[in-house]
Structure 1
Amino acid sequence: MFKQVVEALLNGQFICPTAFPDAFEYLSHATNADKINTFLKPLDRELLNLDGELFYAAYTVVDDSNRAAIRDAFSEVRSQLRPVVEWMDMVMTALGQDMPIRARDEIRLHQLLQAIEHEPSLSEQLNRLTQLTLFKTNRPGLNEQLAWVLQKLEQAGYLVRPNPQASVYIATGKINYLHGLIAFLNDAESLDLDQHAAGNNDGEQQELFL
């Protein structure tokens, strides 16, 4: 298990009980976590635990050897931030929830679709979502659009579908990482998502994400 966990962390995976139950259980034992951390330190990484729901490897040093990798990771997260936040807002409204989605929350496609079909503003919001890069599609029907959005979220690591034959999705710990990232950015500065999406001044911001 040590080898599999190290490889997953170095590949940028977010290890949570939903997406990687065996690896998460392994890291939940302090002895194992210490072994992983000892291995990561010479690679300028450290093992972090977020909210008890998520393990991931963060850079401890930024230099020429890893700057490109950090830039790529920053660009990926930045491109996903607005679409995923808007999707969470749509789900909160559709399901009448007071709190945004967190790790281990269930998303039932048919329940969500029924709410969207009965509210024109939600149908319009879903249509707008499918114009954003992460979710972009020309599929016309609400059912097809929603299934596509959930599929893209699964591919991006925010959701898993325990039973491929069912339409129930579970939020992963990466959702909590996104919440933490938003909170950090809100504390660090007044965030304008559109401005950051269009801007080229990424140097300092990249290092804040890792």
Structure 2
Amino acid sequence: MIFDEVFTSTVESLLAGKFICPITYTTSYDFLNSDINRERVQTYLYQTGKTLSHIDHEFYYASYESMTPDRRRSSRAVFKQTQQEIRPVVEFLSLMMRVSNDERSLYTGDEIHLAQIVSKIENDKSLLKSLDRIIIQIKGQLKGSVFDKTKQLINSLVKTEILKQIEPKIDIYLCTGKLAYYINLMEFIMTYQAEKFDDIDLDEPVQDDLI
């Protein structure tokens, strides 16, 4: 892929609200790791009212360069919607910590093996109840085996690009930069709480698809 094609693909992904990380968009991520390339992308995004944002260069995304009254109102509405969308992710992270018996949260690049999760849940009624609760949240089907329900959950996370399947026929998945973003967003929510949102300085850059 030639330089201009990578530039175009990267900009289009950013403007579409995608999170550029080494798991989901490897070529674009490598492209943005260059200072010169980031400057060129930043210049283009600025013309659209956006800016290139990142957290420790672990992943990149486009956010508003500044907030207008209309964007402020829209951000509040999307923020409330995002709180609902994050709940299954919170439950999933909690479930995975219990499955792995590890208090460390999942992060970008971590592997998830479907067979291992199913094996743990099948032998623990408490984990099964937690799985069923998440299935209800994602409006899935409670009928079927533990494998079927776990696969539903994993597929929903793949669809939203929180996880990425390594190979189509292999049930091993990688956590993406979007999960890392959600974790940071959850910390934001815990710090400020929804009722304090009106007092938050929305002049700070925010990701337009989530906040």
Paired AA for residue 129 in structure 1: I
Distance 1:135 1:87 in 2: 14
Match of 2:166 in 1: 162
Match of 1:23 in 2: 28
Match of 2:128 in 1: 123
SS in 1 for 2:99: helix
Distance 1:16 1:119 in 2: 34
> 1:153 is matched with which residue: 154, 157, 179?
157
Paired AA for residue 124 in structure 1: K
Q: Which runs of 4+ in 1 moved over 6 A?
A: 201-206
Match of 1:40 in 2: 45
Q: Deviations over 1:149-176 (max 9, x none)?
A: 0000000110000201100000000111
Of 147-156 and 91-100, more deviation after overlay is shown by 91-100
Give 5+ residue unaligned stretches, structure 1: none
Tell me by how many angstroms 1:68 deviates: 7.5
Match of 2:105 in 1: 100
Task: Check conservation: 1:92, 1:100, Cα contact below 8 A.
Answer: yes
Identity of aligned residues (%): 25
Paired AA for residue 90 in structure 2: V
Task: Check conservation: 1:83, 1:135, Cα contact below 8 A.
Answer: no
Paired AA for residue 158 in structure 2: E
Q: Which has the higher contact order (CA 8 A, sep 6+)?
A: 2
Tell me by how many angstroms 1:182 deviates: 1.4
Q: Deviations over 1:2-53 (max 9, x none)?
A: 1111110000000100011011000011110111011111222110111321
> 1:144 is matched with which residue: 148, 157, 179?
148
Matched pairs, number: 200
Distance 1:25 1:137 in 2: 39
Paired AA for residue 100 in structure 1: S
Distance 1:108 1:185 in 2: 29
Tell me by how many angstroms 1:206 deviates: 11
Distance 2:185 2:70 in 1: 24
1:178/1:118 Cα in 2 relative to 1: closer, same or farther (>3 Å)?
same
Give 5+ residue unaligned stretches, structure 2: 1-5
Task: Check conservation: 1:135, 1:148, Cα contact below 8 A.
Answer: no
Tell me by how many angstroms 1:147 deviates: 0.2
Match of 1:181 in 2: 185
1:22/1:137 Cα in 2 relative to 1: closer, same or farther (>3 Å)?
same
1:45/1:129 Cα in 2 relative to 1: closer, same or farther (>3 Å)?
same
SS in 1 for 2:51: strand
Q: Please list, as runs of the form range in 1=range in 2, the aligned pairs for 1:108-119 lying within 5 A after superposition.
A: 108-119=113-124
Distance 1:27 1:69 in 2: 28
Distance 1:29 1:14 in 2: 17
1:141/1:13 Cα in 2 relative to 1: closer, same or farther (>3 Å)?
same
Paired AA for residue 164 in structure 1: P
Query: Could you state the TM-score of these two structures normalised by the residue count of structure 2?
Result: 0.85
> 2:14 is matched with which residue: 9, 15, 40?
9
1:188/1:2 Cα in 2 relative to 1: closer, same or farther (>3 Å)?
same
- Alignment root-mean-square deviation, CA: 2.4
